[in-house]
Chain A
Amino acid sequence: MPQMPRAGILKLSGSLSNFMAVWKPITELAADVRSGSASARELVQRALDAIEKKQEYQAIITTTKQRALERAEHIDAMAAAGKDPGQLAGVPFIAKDNFLVFGAEMTAASNMLRGFVPPYQSTAIEKLEAAGAICVAKANLDAFAHGSSTENSDFFTTLNPYDKTRVPGGSSGGSATAVALEMAPFALGTDTGSSVRLPAAFCGVVGLKPTYGLVSRSGVVAMASSLDVIGPLAKTVDDAAIVLEVMAGRDDLDGTTIERDKLPYTDLSASVKGCKIGILKEYMDEHLDAGVRGQIDKAIASLRQEGAEIVEVSVPTLTLSLAVYYILCPAEVSSNLSRYDGQRYPFSDGSATDLDTSYTRSRSNGFGDEAKRRIMIGTHVLSSGYYDAYYEKAQLVRTKIINEFNKAFERVDFLIGAVSPTPPFKIGEKSQDPLEMYLADLFMTGSNLAGNASISVPVGMSEGLPVGMQILAPQGKDRDLLGISKAVEGLVAS
């Protein structure tokens, strides 16, 4: 297994390929297991070994070792008996610890849910298992997915795979670090305002936020239900695509789910000839770090050279998307977190003798600061005197953003911009100032507000740290988005 290259070497080589060696492409891994030339057991063991070896990065909350090995045995037996274990036969993966998965507690990295034993599994997990994939571990996150760095985890902070003094991004930071360090070929994350794309950018991996409703959220801890989506993190676009292929589609257990594309999300056309791409002015603004801008500009230049038509596009109200988000998201959070009352979930303050005190003490001692902040802001913007001024106003500006996105997508097929205005920041740099932390999501919440599809694709390195480029596509155009992402990936590598 290759050692972590030092940042200096990476900087010199300017390549992401140093991190690509342990896992073959997912389709090949599965083909090997189906044909018997590799066993699910050895793949699972390899993942568990990698997790153990890279413990110092604190990406993982818990492994699902026993169940993973049992499932591997089952899949190997199927293959040996000539039965098809599925498209993802024996492929190990890591789930963010806000997915219900059998074989381990689900904590959402919160003290509130420590000890929670999943009574059923997420639809996404069920679908992946039906295709033969094997969950080997649960990854760290900001508690309840509230954050952009994993520093809000009630347990520990995950370290950036390229620089241990920096954050991996959040909230799916454990998933991104795990994939970057090749603990598994792919991981699952959730994205409410940045949480798949930001860590993907900070850790130099692909992170997809599909169209709102394309992947069922049944069995995933709800954060802000009008914004939450599930997405894969992987080393390559093809790997992310096959995971989406398995997870996508309607689910009776999530009433917001939509029909999947009739064509497979795999088998992507990577041609950009004739493609119309808009450089999103608001996501390339003057605050953008020069190193980040340089790498994105280079990728854009290659796209132009390949025959894409590049124009500048403005979605002016996007500059307000973070303000909209920090009304709507806490409002929904305050509602979704009301269920944690000390009566139904494991954490309960034992000192109370009456119900009301039990609610208050359990919530006060069980929630971390960020959850409390969001609950109180949400309660504020929903309270009768302020509802119109805040909540309804935000819903109206959301409409304005959606209309402007629609107009932009009449002109172009895709929008391109930065994921994060800066490279990965230092651990502790923003954790004392919640508003500063929120601003890390400046370029990402717009896609959640509009429900469109977006992705972070690695486009290079700046001063030893990965840079991600964001590409956005209209709702339902996930397949096209993956196609152009694959093209970008090829151009960056060449």
Chain B
Amino acid sequence: MAKLSKDDVLKLARLSKLELTDLQLEKFTKELEAIVGYVEQLQEVDVTGLEPTSQVNGLTNVMRPDEVRQYQTPEELLKNAPDAESGHIKTKRIIV
């Protein structure tokens, strides 16, 4: 498996919507490389005939009645958003 380069980490940061300073890039590249190096040991494990696990207690397709429940008012819910207008969350402009 390829080592992680600074370019790889920059790309990961971009995909993650994170901006790194040069110092951070240096630091994270080293740290991420160590972590990825550690998990590399899985490559040798024989997993022939096994199915991947994503859910451990066996539940599938858990349903409940699709009923409206009243929680807080929209106004109260919007209080946590940095900006709101006319009952909606207001974001920065999308098209620049």
Query: Does any Cβ of A come within 8 Å of B45's Cβ?
Result: yes
Residues on the B chain within 8 Å of A438, using CB:
35, 38
Distance A367 CA – B32 CA, assembled complex (angstroms): 17
B92→A363 contact, CB < 8 A = no
Per-residue CB contact flags for chain B residues 47-64 toward chain A (1 = under 8 Å, else 0) read 100111111110100101
Query: Does any Cβ of B come within 8 Å of A275's Cβ?
Result: no
Per-residue CB contact flags for chain A residues 351-383 toward chain B (1 = under 8 Å, else 0) read 011111111110110010000110111011101
| A400-440 at interface with B (beta carbon < 8 Å) | 400, 402-403, 434-435, 438
B18→A343 contact, CB < 8 A = no
Min CB–CB distance A13 → chain B (angstroms): 41
B35→A377 contact, CB < 8 A = yes
Residues on the B chain within 8 Å of A393, using CB:
42-43, 45, 47
B47→A397 contact, CB < 8 A = yes
Min CB–CB distance A454 → chain B (angstroms): 13
Known interface pairs A320-B42, A383-B15; A120-B72 also in contact (CB < 8 Å): yes
B35→A394 contact, CB < 8 A = no
Query: Does any Cβ of B come within 8 Å of A306's Cβ?
Result: no
A323→B41 contact, CB < 8 A = yes
Known interface pairs A323-B41, A372-B18, A397-B42; A358-B35 also in contact (CB < 8 Å): no
Interface residues on A, range: 35 or more
Min CB–CB distance B38 → chain A (angstroms): 6
Distance A398 CA – B51 CA, assembled complex (angstroms): 9
Residues on the B chain within 8 Å of A320, using CB:
41-42, 45
A389→B19 contact, CB < 8 A = no
Query: Does any Cβ of B come within 8 Å of A23's Cβ?
Result: no
Per-residue CB contact flags for chain B residues 20-42 toward chain A (1 = under 8 Å, else 0) read 10000000100110111011111
Residues on the B chain within 8 Å of A390, using CB:
39, 42
- How many A-B residue contacts, CB cutoff 8 Å? 174
Distance A381 CA – B82 CA, assembled complex (angstroms): 32
Chain A interface helix/strand/loop/mixed:
helix
Partner of B36, one of A322, A377, A383: A377
Min CB–CB distance A196 → chain B (angstroms): 17
Distance A352 CA – B8 CA, assembled complex (angstroms): 26
A256→B57 contact, CB < 8 A = yes
Known interface pairs A226-B54, A323-B38, A363-B18; A343-B28 also in contact (CB < 8 Å): no
B52→A395 contact, CB < 8 A = yes
| A53-68 at interface with B (beta carbon < 8 Å) | none
Query: Does any Cβ of B come within 8 Å of A344's Cβ?
Result: yes
Query: Does any Cβ of B come within 8 Å of A213's Cβ?
Result: yes
Residues on the A chain within 8 Å of B77, using CB:
119
Could you list some 30 contacts between A and B, CB below 8 A? A117-B79, A213-B59, A226-B55, A255-B62, A256-B59, A256-B62, A322-B38, A326-B38, A344-B81, A345-B81, A348-B83, A352-B92, A353-B93, A353-B96, A356-B17, A363-B16, A363-B17, A364-B20, A372-B18, A373-B28, A375-B16, A377-B36, A379-B12, A380-B12, A380-B36, A390-B42, A396-B47, A396-B52, A399-B47, A435-B34
For the complex with contacts A211-B57, A317-B45, A376-B28, 16 further pairs of A-B residues with Cβ separation under 8 Å are A119-B71, A213-B57, A255-B64, A320-B42, A334-B16, A343-B89, A355-B91, A355-B94, A372-B16, A372-B18, A380-B4, A380-B8, A380-B12, A393-B43, A396-B52, A400-B47
Binding site for B on A (CB under 8 A): 115-117, 119-120, 211-213, 226, 252, 255-256, 258, 317, 320, 322-324, 326-327, 334, 341-348, 352-361, 363-364, 367, 372-373, 375-377, 379-381, 383, 389-390, 392-400, 402-403, 434-435, 438, 449-451, 475
